[in-house]
Amino acid sequence: MFVDSHCHLDRLDLKAHSGDLNAALDAAREREVRQFLAIAVTLEDVETLAGIARAHEDVAISAGVHPLHRVAREPSVEEIKACAERFDVVAIGETGLDYHYDTIPREVQFERFRRHLQAATELELPVIVHTRDARDETLSLIREHTDPAVGGVLHCFTEELDMARQAVAHGFFISLSGIVTFRNAEAIRELARAIPLDRLLIETDSPYLAPVPHRGKPNEPQWVVEVADCIARERGISLDEVAMQTTVNFYRLFRAAAPQASEEMRQALTDANLM
């Protein structure tokens, strides 16, 4: 079984599935993808995602504002918490720092990130972190504002191994996306080989970053299998081992998602002594 630990189900390009989200999810389920974490980019997204989750027992959701998203007014810690509690989310995010584009002032991103981390800590929920070209600030904030016992994930990770190791030392997981399959992504494949398997997650970040051999197409949750397969080949282990360990890792981090898991997934978790 596989888990897509980061997908934007409300933003998928569904042309290949006649506009039907159910068909896109069924295509993933046919490839043994048994859990989806649908990620919010704005707090306004969360209600839509909650509707998707109510219709699909294998979909969990997050609440947060992306670091590059423009908002009319920055949400307070209490507003982030209220949204998370109202819609029964399993994580806060995605949030973080992206200094690559600088379309949102750095001081605005910094304060937004700090508020999300505070909300996550007060709710005892893991945080989903987007980080790009902001190594020191990202590490400083998560050290100051997160509990290693709760942790979080650096999603779609493309930074240096040393940053990953420091985050792991603070209780975080590292998630790899379809980028790991790209021809020019040897540095990411080095990460796939070096990061402890019990600290790795897999994701699509769909509809973005479709893996080889699907580059150029809108990404889909079903293609998380290609990410897992690449990691297995790089590490010289079986695809089943990557699937099992990344699934276990997902439920270790996103503990609130475990009760929402399907009957089949719950039985697998019970067999692995996780429930």
Flag whether 6 is marked binding.
Answer: yes
- DSSP state letter for 208: S
Flag whether 155 is marked binding.
Answer: yes
What is each CA distance from 163 to 36, 140, 157, 170, in whole angstroms? 26, 11, 10, 11
Flag whether 8 is marked binding.
Answer: yes
Flag whether 17 is marked binding.
Answer: no
Each domain of the chain, given as residue ranges in start order, spans: 2-271
- DSSP state letter for 163: H
What's the whole-number average pLDDT of the chain?
95
| Terminal C-alpha separation, the chain | 16
pLDDT tens per residue across span 49-74: 999 999 999 999 999 999 999 999 99
Report residue 275's pLDDT band, with 50, 70 and 90 as the boundaries.
low
Q: The pTM is what?
A: 0.95
- Interior/surface letters 95-105, b for 16+ CB within 10 angstroms, e for the rest: bbbbbeeeebe
CATH node for 2-271: 3.20.20.140
Q: Under DSSP, is residue 151 helix (H, G, I), strand (E, B) or coil? A: coil
Flag whether 130 is marked binding.
Answer: yes
Flag whether 133 is marked binding.
Answer: no
Supply 9's token pair: 């189900």
219: phi then psi, degrees, rounded to nearest 5: -70, 155
Q: Starting from the edge strand earliest in sequence, which strands make up the sheet with 127-132, in order?
A: 2-7, 33-38, 59-63, 91-98, 127-132, 152-154, 172-176, 200-202
pLDDT tens per residue across span 89-110: 999 999 999 999 879 999 999 9
